[in-house]
């Protein structure tokens, strides 16, 4: 997994003498210094009801007292209550307008009879100073540096232009609803890549030098040392900006997640909205695709080739004589998003996006890449429900004790033990987890936790061998050893807002019982909930009183079946899949939890897939030979997973074709 | 769009169908480049500019205007036969023009007009682009065409390369020039996203939304734009229809939008008796051919 | 079509099936029998495009854009007549600088249109060439200068409206964008040179051999107490008409004539045909010429001739080109951006009527606006359709002058006469009153 190369955000860079304070009244001195030596100063200014970057000369040219309100497809200026100079965020102009201009002549070709000649065009770029470069745009400059200068082939025009720029960064003291630099790891703090960095405070700016050129300017400014209150206040303001932006796009593993979704239905859905107009790519400060255009005189003697901004969204971008490689708008949208957020990392070692939000604001139809990313490649949810508690006795040597306070014989061979006195960690486990249960002299065995109580747990055990039979025979006040809670959980939070289908048989209801408890506790959060449960005979059905209660009172649709029954059984007979393979329901908004013998789970998964339930939303729990429960004994390995540690709950999408494959 | 090797000094004709003359005028408005052009091209027939006439054959024929009356049907076929390379210029020739708005009218009602002007009989029910009648080798879009694109086409004809007439949205040109998007910053509806570039983004540069005079571009998602304008701008359907009911309304997908949303009107909704027309010597009865 | 049989009397037919070097598609037919003109017809076979029907149901700003498409040479004139008509009905007061910018825009169009006509369409007749381009071989500097002057006019329209043909920024209430001073000042050198070229042009055309021609002509134009007429003033004539600009329909009417796609016009007072255009304006409003233009006119000594010899209208057109350059320079020098480039407005139902001076003469628009702010009815009367009767009257006069010329030369002379009007035939046939009755 590749991590972004952008450094972790820190506070203001400290220098031996600390940042200086430049009074507002002296800001013109800085601007004049920046314009010395025929350097042109480019900075924010208002034009056409927008804050753009353009050539400026005086403080009066800055958007004094103006801020901006940005939303997908919407930009409006807003008068601030104060007279701040930099109380806004980025506008439609990207700095690449000067470092990577929209039109650059590359080559002039001449033809004289048979002879042809090609002479490179070199523009001598003017010296520039950029005033007001935000952290996201610093990262964008760094990205283009890497793309255009940092590889095996370089762009000489970019090198010249980049070298002639003095960068004066500005810390963001406000943010827009479209910013997500925090997620991309590029801001809001300015950390490197600048000659000078300014942070605006009440009556001036704090000035920090980041290079020799910057220091040379600092020495000529009427600065006084910034007080610690000023420095603290500045850092606090930027920290507030960070807090306000939050973390709109969880980035962990985004590269892999996104590339795993090349067939996601959302691509087609966003393509219905996307006009493929190219605005996002040309507003983007890191996009670098260009095209060549020819300018010839009528006689055809001289021709100049120009390089001009292009966009992968244009229909002709990927055309060859035989057709286009990306003929459909959905293909082109997918190209852009996956390049920006996945394959760019493979190519250049960092994400192509700096979180500046321009593509969101300046999309005329308001498509928001954050929504698209979260829909197509959602992050593994990190909400408190599913934070797994650290297991106790988590070494191969240890166990903790627990005491039996209640036993219940569920069926002829299955007993539920209620345990208390165990480490509180057990009560905080999640549905689907298991414990390693040990009795002296017997091998420890993995048993699913069938209920979580405030002061203990329940274990439902089928006496299938000597150890489990011994456990079933325990009496009140007997003690056992426990390690856990172990493994992962049923992803119930991914079921919020969806329909749930739970399919199980026999003892398989035990690991699912806590799920049903959790559903009942928050029934309104879920759609239709169906439980399909089968057993060999009616006497083998577990938790019969709960089954009745769930069906009668708790809004769960319970369908039962048995393999064979006597005359007193008025319910269904047959395998559990028959309970739902005839029904006509649309599974596209369904999540399924399945537990039972592997063959039963395979058949169920196939039937569910046929109903439109996607593989990423069919979850199974796997049983394997376990001896330690913590991935150290090697027994439960299946393919790339250790079932005890990476499971036992897996989605069919995760398992791929290892599921059901003989001999894995 | 095919390319053809034209002669060393191609023989050029410029002809006009139903149009305003603006696209032909763009040729004369090449100003300082015009004399250069006439050195490389021999203009053999261009009634607006020269009394010299020629019935062809033409190496290159520029056709302005839409097919709008019966005589045009035969004339365009005849001209096509005499031309090696036929270029349609302007929205009338490439899309039927603003006058194509009458195509949504009730054609039977047209024929039942109370004042049966003789000229009226010589009008077709529809104004249609040239390409609906003959094959076209190249087209220059616009109302009027852009002089830069005209020079590019002329240069391409001489040098033998494919003319560079990009099929991208006007948005790209706005962004290259640093023009701020009028839809995002002012809420003005703008067809630039679905319109083919070529004009240099004139309307957004001058503070208004694009009205699509260069016609719909390839894969224009007019339906997506319409949905957005309806939801985000809370605009009534007919208002959005009128956006598309402009100079290139007859081209798809603008045409479907106009048909679905309305906006083309039907012409005068009620006849005004005793209106501006009086007939002299009862010409209505005669119906002579001019 | 030539006479296939020997006519029993001396009948000559002068015919041009498709007039060249005029805007639009027209034909000429003159039939003279025994020295008497029995048919004088400017036939217009330009295809009608039904603009007066197309604008029904549209909004005022849409109409401003649409009517420009009536003519590629004078789109600004259509935008001006329309926008002033709406502003008059809605009671819109535009910023005074917006008004100056509109005059500036009109200057640009007059320059472009007049220079195009003088050099590319009309002058070749006087010098014996087929086209302005053909003149290059012998008169390259003259043609290049003309193209530079025409370009100056086009660049002016472009600076204000985005492009010289069908500019985009004219709106009810003013401008979608007003230019910056620097943008206009950048045009000064070209306008200065254009002024000099225009002054040279006056001298050039004043020295041309004018074919003999004389007809007492009745002129109609707009007149304003302190400006050379563009979009403001009153309708006046050389014989006593003096009415508001919106009152065209109380003075004139349109009627259909067989064999031509363009409606004719006549004055309701029965006083006969009337002429619009540069000759009319110079005659009726010459006292408001810019001093530089007045001087240029005076130096020709042809002010009287312009009133009776239609061929001399080329001189009137050249003087007006000086006028346009001179006024453009003055406006730019005094320009500061408007306070409010676009003022808000609401529509009112009623009749919107106005006339402005297109390069070729007075152009009248009238619109019925309904309660919803949409156009319910439109009438557009271009100068060329109004001039048709005068053209045909002049053909009758011209017939006498050409009878003793060789036939081809005579026909050319008649074409040249028609070109003196600078007819804009696309304008004349933008419409037909499309009245639909459901069966």
pLDDT tens digits for A107-125?
999 988 889 899 999 889 9
- Average pLDDT on B256-281 reads 56
Query: Band of the pLDDT at A23, cuts 50, 70, 90?
Result: very high
- Scored b (16 or more CB within 10 A) or e, B71-99 reads ebeeebeebbeebbbbbbbbbbbbbbbbb
pLDDT of residue A14: 44
Q: Does B57 touch chain C (CB under 8 A)?
A: no
Q: Does B140 touch chain C (CB under 8 A)?
A: no
C27/B290 touch (CB, cutoff 8 Å), yes or no? yes
Query: Band of the pLDDT at A515, cuts 50, 70, 90?
Result: very high
Has residue C298 been placed in a domain?
yes
> Taking a contact as any Cβ pair under 8 Å apart, which residues of chain B between 114 and 173 contact chain A?
151, 154-155, 158-159, 161, 164, 166-169, 171-172
Residue range A321-354, pLDDT digits in tens: 778 888 899 999 999 999 999 999 999 999 999 9
Q: Does A276 touch chain B (CB under 8 A)?
A: yes
pLDDT of residue B288: 31
- Average pLDDT on C72-85 reads 97
* Residues of B with Cβ-Cβ distance to C66 under 8 angstroms: 98
Residue range C231-284, pLDDT digits in tens: 999 999 999 999 999 999 999 988 777 767 677 888 888 888 899 999 999 999
Instruction: Name the residue among C358, C324, C426 with its Cα closest to residue C76.
Output: C358
Annotate C222-266 with DSSP letters as a single string.
EE-SSS-SSS-SEEEETTS-EEEGGGHHHHEEEEB-TT-SS-EEE
Question: Which span out of A314-318, B255-259, C209-213 was modeled with the highest average pLDDT?
Answer: B255-259
pLDDT of residue C146: 96
Query: Band of the pLDDT at A382, cuts 50, 70, 90?
Result: very low
- Average pLDDT on A591-602 reads 91
Query: Band of the pLDDT at C36, cuts 50, 70, 90?
Result: confident
Name the least confident of A463-467, A556-560, A636-640.
A636-640
> Taking a contact as any Cβ pair under 8 Å apart, which residues of chain C between 214 and 253 contact chain B?
249, 253
The CATH 3.40.50.700 portion of chain B extends over 11-159
Q: For residue A595, count CB atoms less than 10 angstroms from its CB and return exposed for 0-12, middle for 13-18, buried for 19 or more.
A: buried
pLDDT of residue A568: 86
Residue range B80-116, pLDDT digits in tens: 999 999 999 999 999 999 999 989 986 545 444 333 4
In chain A, % of residues over pLDDT 90: 63
Has residue C379 been placed in a domain?
yes
Residue range C341-373, pLDDT digits in tens: 999 999 999 999 999 999 999 999 999 999 999
pLDDT of residue A578: 85
> Taking a contact as any Cβ pair under 8 Å apart, which residues of chain C between 51 and 110 contact chain B?
51, 53-54, 56-59, 62, 65-66, 69-73, 75
Pairwise pLDDT comparison (C27 vs A394), residue with the higher score? A394
Query: Band of the pLDDT at A18, cuts 50, 70, 90?
Result: confident
**CB contacts < 8 A (B, C):** 243
**pLDDT of A383 over the 60 cut:** no
pLDDT of residue A12: 44
Q: Does C319 touch chain B (CB under 8 A)?
A: no
pLDDT of residue C408: 82
**Shortest distance, CA A264 to any CA of chain B (angstroms):** 20
Query: Band of the pLDDT at A610, cuts 50, 70, 90?
Result: confident
pLDDT of residue C31: 80
Q: What is the mean pLDDT of chain A?
A: 90
Residue range C171-206, pLDDT digits in tens: 999 999 999 999 999 999 999 999 999 999 999 999
Residue range B119-166, pLDDT digits in tens: 445 678 899 999 999 999 999 999 999 999 999 999 999 888 889 999
Q: Which residue in chain A is spatially nearest to B175 when comparing CA positions? A: A282
Query: Band of the pLDDT at A584, cuts 50, 70, 90?
Result: low
Domain encompassing residue C385 = 47-400
Has residue C11 been placed in a domain?
no
pLDDT of residue B273: 31
Q: Does B203 touch chain C (CB under 8 A)?
A: yes
pLDDT of residue A301: 83
* Residues of C with Cβ-Cβ distance to B68 under 8 angstroms: 47, 49
Residue range C386-427, pLDDT digits in tens: 998 888 888 888 887 787 888 888 888 888 888 899 988 766
- Average pLDDT on C159-175 reads 98
Query: Band of the pLDDT at A381, cuts 50, 70, 90?
Result: low
In chain A, % of residues over pLDDT 70: 96
Fold classified for A400-486: Elongation Factor Tu (Ef-tu); domain 3 (2.40.30)
pLDDT of residue B268: 44
Annotate chain B with DSSP letters as a single string.
-------SS-EEEEEESBS-SHHHHHHHTTGGGHHHHHHHSEEEE-TTTBS------EEEEEEESBB-SHHHHHHHHHHHHTEEEEEEEHHHHHH--GGGGGGGS-HHHHHT-SS--HHHHTS-S--B-GGGTS--SEEE-BTTB-HHHHHHHHHHHHHTPPP----SBHHHHHHHHTPPPHHHHH----GGGGBB--S-SHHHHTTS----TT-B-TT--HHHHHHHHHHHH---HHHHHHHHSSTTTTSTTHHHHHHHH--S--S-SS--TT-S--BSS-GGGT----
Nearest to B180 among A52, A103, A366 (CB): A52
Give chain C's domain count.
Answer: 1
Please give the CATH number for the structural domain made up of B11-159: 3.40.50.700
pLDDT of residue B100: 94
pLDDT of residue A389: 83
Nearest to B22 among C124, C147, C166 (CB): C166
* Residues of C with Cβ-Cβ distance to B35 under 8 angstroms: 133, 136, 140, 143-144, 147
**pLDDT of C22 over the 80 cut:** no
pLDDT of residue B130: 97
Query: Band of the pLDDT at B272, cuts 50, 70, 90?
Result: very low
pLDDT of residue A6: 43
pLDDT of residue C6: 54
Query: Band of the pLDDT at A2, cuts 50, 70, 90?
Result: very low
A278/B172 touch (CB, cutoff 8 Å), yes or no? yes
Q: Which subunits have 3 or more CB–CB pairs within 8 Å of chain B?
A: A, C
In chain C, % of residues over pLDDT 70: 94
A275/B180 touch (CB, cutoff 8 Å), yes or no? no
Domain ranges of chain A: 20-100+115-245, 254-376, 400-486, 492-621
Q: Residue C188 maps to which CATH number?
A: 1.10.645.10
The secondary structure of residue A603, as a DSSP letter, is H
Pairwise pLDDT comparison (B207 vs A187), residue with the higher score? B207
**pLDDT of A4 over the 90 cut:** no
Query: What are the beta bridge partners of residue A133?
Result: A169
**Shortest distance, CA B165 to any CA of chain A (angstroms):** 10
Mutation for testing the C interface, residue in B69, B102, B119, B275 having most C CBs under 10 Å:
B119
| A660 vs A650: CA distance, rounded Å | 13
pLDDT of residue C427: 64
B35/C177 touch (CB, cutoff 8 Å), yes or no? no
pLDDT of residue C426: 62
Query: Band of the pLDDT at A380, cuts 50, 70, 90?
Result: low
- Please check whether residue B180 is in contact with residue A47, taking contact to mean a CB–CB distance below 8 angstroms: yes
**pLDDT of A448 over the 80 cut:** yes
- Average pLDDT on A436-462 reads 92
Six-digit token pair at C180? 């910056």
Instruction: Give the DSSP H/E element, type plus range, for residue A515.
Output: helix A509-521
Backbone angles phi, psi at B177, to 5 degrees: -90, -5
Bridge-based pairing state of the strands A400-409 and A414-420:
antiparallel
Q: What is the mean pLDDT of chain B?
A: 85
Has residue C366 been placed in a domain?
yes
Q: How far apart are the first and last CA of chain A?
A: 26
Query: Band of the pLDDT at A297, cuts 50, 70, 90?
Result: confident
Domain A492-621 CATH assignment equals 3.40.640.10:
no
CA A336 centroid distance within chain: 17
pLDDT of residue A317: 85
Nearest to B184 among A93, A273, A361 (CB): A361
Residue range B40-87, pLDDT digits in tens: 999 999 988 888 888 889 999 999 999 998 899 999 999 999 999 999
Residue range C329-338, pLDDT digits in tens: 999 999 999 9
Q: Which residue in chain A is spatially nearest to B228 when comparing CA positions? A: A365
Q: Does B26 touch chain C (CB under 8 A)?
A: yes
What's the complex ipTM? 0.90
pLDDT of residue C439: 22
Q: Which residue in chain A is spatially nearest to B197 when comparing CA positions? A: A277
| C114 vs C194: CA distance, rounded Å | 12
**Shortest distance, CA B185 to any CA of chain C (angstroms):** 15
Query: Band of the pLDDT at B274, cuts 50, 70, 90?
Result: very low
């Amino acid at each position: 997994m590749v991590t972004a190369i952008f450094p972790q955000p820190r506070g203001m860079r400290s220098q031996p003498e600390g940042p200086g304070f430049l009074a507002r009244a002296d800001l013109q001195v800085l601007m004049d210094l920046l314009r010395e030596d025929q350097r042109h100063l480019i900075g924010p200014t208002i034009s056409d009801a927008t804050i753009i970057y353009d050539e400026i000369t005086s403080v009066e040219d800055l958007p004094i007292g103006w801020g901006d309100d940005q939303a997908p497809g919407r930009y409006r200026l807003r008068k601030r209550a104060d007279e701040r100079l930099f109380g806004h965020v980025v506008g439609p102009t990207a700095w690449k307008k000067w470092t990577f201009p929209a039109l650059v002549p590359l080559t002039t070709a001449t033809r004289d009879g048979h002879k042809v000649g090609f002479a490179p065009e070199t523009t001598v770029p003017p010296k520039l100073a950029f005033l007001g470069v935000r952290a996201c745009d610093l990262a964008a400059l760094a990205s283009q540096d890497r793309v255009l200068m940092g590889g095996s082939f370089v762009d000489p025009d970019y090198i010249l232009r980049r070298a002639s720029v003095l960068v004066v960064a500005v810390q963001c003291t406000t943010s827009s609803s479209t910013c997500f630099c925090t997620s991309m790891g590029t801001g809001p703090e300015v950390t490197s890549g600048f000659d000078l960095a300014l942070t605006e405070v009440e009556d001036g700016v704090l000035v920090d030098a980041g290079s020799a050129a910057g220091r040379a300017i600092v020495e000529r400014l009427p600065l006084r040392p910034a007080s610690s209150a000023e420095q603290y206040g500045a850092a606090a303001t930027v920290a507030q900006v960070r807090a306000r932006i939050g973390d709109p796009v969880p980035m962990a593993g985004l590269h892999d997640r996104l590339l795993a979704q090349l067939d996601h239905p959302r691509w087609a859905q966003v393509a219905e909205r996307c006009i493929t107009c190219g605005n996002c790519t040309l507003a983007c400060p890191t996009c670098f695709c260009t095209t060549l255009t020819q300018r010839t005189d009528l006689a055809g003697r001289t021709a100049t080739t120009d390089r001009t901004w292009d966009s992968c969204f244009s229909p002709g971008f990927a055309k060859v004589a035989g057709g286009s490689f990306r003929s459909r708008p959905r293909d082109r949208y997918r190209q852009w998003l996956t390049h920006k957020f996945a394959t760019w990392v493979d190519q250049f070692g960092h994400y192509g996006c700096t979180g500046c939000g321009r593509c969101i604001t300046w999309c005329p139809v308001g498509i928001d890449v954050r929504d698209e990313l979260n829909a197509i490649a959602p992050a593994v949810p990190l909400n408190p429900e599913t934070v797994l508690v650290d297991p106790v006795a988590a070494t191969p040597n240890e166990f903790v004790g627990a005491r039996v306070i209640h036993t219940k014989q569920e069926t002829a061979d299955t007993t539920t033990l209620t345990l208390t006195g165990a480490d509180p960690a057990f009560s905080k486990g999640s549905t689907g987890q298991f414990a390693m249960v040990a009795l002296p002299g017997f091998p420890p065995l993995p048993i699913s936790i069938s209920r979580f109580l405030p002061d203990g747990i329940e274990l439902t055990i089928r006496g299938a061998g000597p150890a489990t039979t011994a456990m079933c025979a325990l009496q009140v006040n007997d003690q056992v050893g426990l390690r856990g809670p172990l493994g992962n959980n049923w992803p119930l939070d991914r079921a919020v807002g969806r329909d749930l289908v739970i399919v199980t048989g026999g003892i398989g209801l035990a690991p699912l019982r806590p799920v049903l408890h959790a559903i009942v506790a928050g029934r309104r959060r879920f759609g239709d909930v169906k439980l399909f449960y089968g057993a060999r005979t009616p006497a083998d059905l577990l938790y019969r009183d709960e089954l009745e209660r769930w069906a009668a009172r708790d809004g769960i649709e319970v369908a039962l079946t048995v393999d064979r029954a006597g005359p007193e059984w008025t319910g269904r007979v047959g395998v559990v899949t028959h309970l739902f393979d005839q029904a006509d329901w649309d599974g596209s908004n369904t999540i399924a939890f399945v537990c039972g013998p592997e063959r039963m789970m395979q058949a169920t998964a196939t039937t569910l897939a046929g109903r439109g339930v996607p593989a990423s939303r069919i979850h199974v729990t796997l049983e394997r030979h376990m001896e330690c429960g913590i991935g150290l004994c090697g027994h439960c390995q299946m393919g790339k997973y250790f079932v005890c540690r990476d499971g036992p709950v897996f989605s069919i999408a995760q398992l791929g074709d290892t599921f059901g494959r003989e001999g894995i | 769009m095919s390319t053809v090797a034209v002669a060393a000094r191609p023989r050029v004709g410029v002809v006009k169908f139903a149009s305003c003359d603006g696209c032909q005028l763009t040729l004369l408005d090449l100003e300082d480049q015009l004399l250069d052009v006439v050195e490389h091209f021999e203009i053999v027939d261009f009634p607006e500019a020269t009394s010299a006439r020629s019935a062809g054959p033409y190496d290159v024929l520029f056709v302005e205007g839409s097919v709008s009356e019966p005589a045009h049907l035969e004339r365009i076929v005849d001209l096509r036969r005499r031309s090696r390379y036929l270029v349609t210029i302007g929205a009338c020739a490439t899309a039927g023009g603003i006058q194509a708005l009458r195509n949504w009218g009730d054609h039977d009602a047209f024929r039942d007009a109370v004042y049966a002007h003789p000229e009226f009989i010589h009008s077709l029910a529809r104004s249609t682009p040239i390409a609906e009648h003959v094959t076209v080798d190249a087209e220059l879009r616009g109302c009027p065409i852009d002089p830069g694109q005209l020079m590019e086409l002329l240069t391409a004809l001489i040098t033998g390369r494919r003319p560079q007439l990009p099929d991208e949205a006007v948005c790209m040109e706005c962004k290259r020039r640093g023009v701020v998007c009028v839809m995002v910053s002012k809420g003005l509806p703008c067809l630039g996203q679905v319109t083919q570039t070529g004009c240099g983004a004139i309307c957004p540069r001058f503070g208004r939304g694009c009205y699509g005079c260069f016609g719909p571009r390839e894969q224009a998602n007019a339906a997506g734009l319409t949905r957005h304008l309806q939801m985000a701008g809370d605009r009534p359907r007919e208002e959005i229809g009128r956006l598309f009911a402009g100079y290139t309304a007859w081209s798809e997908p603008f045409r479907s939008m106009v048909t679905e949303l309305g906006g083309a009107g039907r012409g005068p909704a009620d006849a005004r008796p005793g209106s501006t027309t009086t007939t002299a010597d009862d010409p209505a009865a005669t119906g002579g051919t001019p | 079509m030539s006479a296939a049989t020997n006519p029993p009397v001396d009948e000559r037919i002068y015919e041009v099936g498709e007039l060249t070097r005029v805007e639009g598609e027209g034909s000429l037919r003159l039939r003279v029998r025994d020295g008497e003109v029995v048919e004088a017809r400017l036939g217009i076979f330009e295809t009608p495009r039904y603009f007066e029907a197309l604008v029904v149901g549209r909004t005022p700003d849409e109409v401003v854009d649409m009517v420009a498409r009536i003519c590629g040479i004078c789109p600004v004139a259509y935008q001006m007549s329309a926008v002033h008509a709406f502003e008059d009905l809605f009671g819109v007061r535009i910023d005074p600088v917006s008004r100056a910018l509109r005059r500036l825009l009109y200057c640009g169009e007059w320059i472009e249109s007049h220079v195009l006509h003088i050099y590319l369409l009309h002058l070749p007749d006087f010098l014996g060439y087929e086209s302005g381009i053909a003149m290059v071989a012998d008169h390259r500097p003259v043609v290049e200068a003309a193209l530079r002057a025409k370009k100056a006019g086009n660049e002016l329209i472009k600076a204000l409206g985005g492009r010289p043909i069908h500019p985009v920024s004219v709106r009810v209430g003013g401008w979608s964008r007003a230019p910056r001073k620097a943008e206009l000042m950048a045009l000064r050198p070209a306008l200065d040179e254009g002024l000099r070229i225009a002054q040279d042009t006056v001298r050039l055309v004043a020295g041309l051999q004018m074919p003999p021609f004389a007809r007492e002509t009745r002129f109609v134009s707009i007149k304003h107490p302190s400006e050379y007429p563009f979009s403001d003033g009153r309708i006046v004539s050389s014989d006593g008409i003096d009415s508001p600009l919106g009152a065209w329909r109380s003075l004139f009417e349109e009627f259909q004539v067989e064999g031509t796609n363009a409606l004719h016009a006549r004055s309701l007072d029965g006083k006969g045909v009337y002429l619009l255009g540069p000759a009319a304006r110079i005659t009726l409003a010459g006292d408001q010429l810019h001093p530089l233009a007045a001087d240029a006119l005076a130096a020709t000594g042809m002010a009287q001739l312009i009133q009776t010899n239609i061929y001399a209208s080329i001189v009137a057109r050249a003087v007006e080109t000086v006028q346009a350059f001179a006024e453009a320079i003055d406006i730019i020098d005094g320009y500061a951006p408007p306070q409010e480039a676009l003022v808000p407005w609401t529509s009112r139902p009623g009749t919107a009527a106005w006339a402005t001076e297109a390069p070729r003469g007075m152009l009248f628009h009238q619109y019925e606006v309904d309660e919803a702010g949409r156009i319910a009815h439109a009438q557009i009367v271009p100068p060329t359709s109004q001039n048709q009767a005068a053209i045909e009257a002049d053909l009758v006069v011209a017939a006498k002058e050409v009878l003793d010329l060789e036939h081809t030369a005579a026909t050319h002379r008649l074409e040249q006469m028609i070109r003196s009007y600078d007819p804009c035939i696309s304008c004349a046939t933008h419409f037909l009153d499309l009245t639909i009755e459901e069966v």
